[in-house]
Amino acid sequence: MPDLHDVVDEIAEKMGQREDRGAVATYIPQLARVDPRHFGIAVATADGTLACAGDSEIPFSIQSISKVFTLTLALGVVGDSLWRRVGREPSGNAFNSIAQLELEKGVPRNPFINAGALAVTDVILSGHPPREALGEILRFIRFAAQDDSIFIDEAVARSEKATGFRNAALANFMKSFAVLQHPVDHVLGTYFHHCAIAMTCRQLALAGRFLAQSGRNPDTGFSLVSPERARRINALMLTCGHYDGSGEFAFRVGLPGKSGVGGGILAIAPGRASIAVWSPGLDAAGNSHLGRMALEILAHKMKWSIFGD
Ligand code: GLU
């Protein structure tokens, strides 16, 4: 097996040289300002190795990757009854599609499309004012990463709120079907803020370790979720984590993964490693172009695909 540090260094060097970097998301103005030349990677393995390269210490907007952590929290709050409010099937549609929601009477297809994530955020708001719900999300991520310096980028949250008309439409639509129980502005405000959490690749790889290690956080020895729940979250990441690019990601990389429009991807090699990559340029499906490519090389070289060598 090749040395992980060598592989990670080699990938960062290769990605640094590529000209085809995809296009930075522009619909959230604050994200449009990010330099597309960044590339970072961090891998935290089950045996405690941490391999980082490139811009692995620069915080970026995790955006939809936060949906993995909010899903984990919501399952902790209401357990499997969450599945009465959100489905578990890939959508095959854009991340912010309204058409599907209308056909399915306001019940989102899965927790990772925007509508599903808004429903999940609504669950976390149960019994809390928005500020506390947000605090809980941030505390959970900090605990998983064992890093209290993780923060919310208020400028990104504001930028998203100012332009989040489609998310507002989705939330209002779901409210009309009584799929949301809290005021729409509370759900949206909490959602925009958790999407605006900023993390480095190193922090994100560390935060994802519980999913690679049957729910256990190796630093504390505590379980964040049961092995069964970790397995199921991974299954959803594999089938739904890249919107309508999920099939292509499974085909090429073969790992559960969740992308965000900030250009980050959290990928899990169950039993082996938690991996974070970041490159802000996106492909046509809204997933990090070089991030996906980097994961493809890593999974291939380390023989980590869940589908075999
Ligand atoms: N905050 C973004 C939105 O709601 C998240 C989308 C993403 O990262 O895919 O549009």
Q: Where are the alpha helices (DSSP H) in the chain?
A: 4-17, 29-32, 66-78, 99-103, 114-124, 130-145, 154-163, 165-176, 184-195, 201-207, 209-212, 227-240, 246-252, 289-302
244 CB near ligand 1 (under 6 Å): no
Rounded distance from Cα 131 to ligand 1 centre (Å): 20
Q: In this structure, are residues 256 and 235 in contact, taking their beta carbons and an 8 Å threshold?
A: yes
Query: What is the distance between the terminal CA atoms of the chain, rounded to a whole angstrom?
Result: 12
Which CATH code fits 64-195? 3.40.710.10
* 105-127 pLDDT tens trace: 889 999 999 999 999 999 999 98
Which CATH code fits 4-61+199-302? 3.40.710.10
Amino acid at residue number 229: R
Q: Which ranges in the chain are annotated with CATH 3.40.710.10?
A: 4-61+199-302, 64-195
Residue 65 CA: nearest ligand 1 atom is 8
Nearest to 291 by CA among 264, 251, 257: 264
Measured from the Cβ of residue 226, the count of other Cβ atoms closer than 10 Å reads 12
Confidence (pTM): 0.97
Rounded distance from Cα 25 to ligand 1 centre (Å): 10
Of 26, 30, 31, 63, the residue with max ligand 1 atoms within 8 A of its CB, to mutate for a pocket test, comes to 63
Looking up tokens 């391999």 gives 51
Report in angstroms the alpha-carbon separations of 122 from 59, 118, 188, 270. 27, 6, 9, 29
Q: Across all residues in the chain, what is the average pLDDT? A: 96
Query: What pLDDT, on a 0 to 100 scale, did the predictor assign at position 187?
Result: 98
Average pLDDT of the segment spanning 175-191: 97
* 35-59 pLDDT tens trace: 999 999 999 999 999 999 999 999 9
What is the rounded (10 degree) CA torsion for 282, 61, 236, 254?
50
64 CB near ligand 1 (under 6 Å): yes
**Residues contributing to the annotated binding site:** 64, 114, 160, 167, 191, 243, 261
Query: What pLDDT, on a 0 to 100 scale, did the predictor assign at position 256?
Result: 98
**Integer Cα distance of 202 and 59 in angstroms:** 9
Query: What pLDDT, on a 0 to 100 scale, did the predictor assign at position 96?
Result: 78
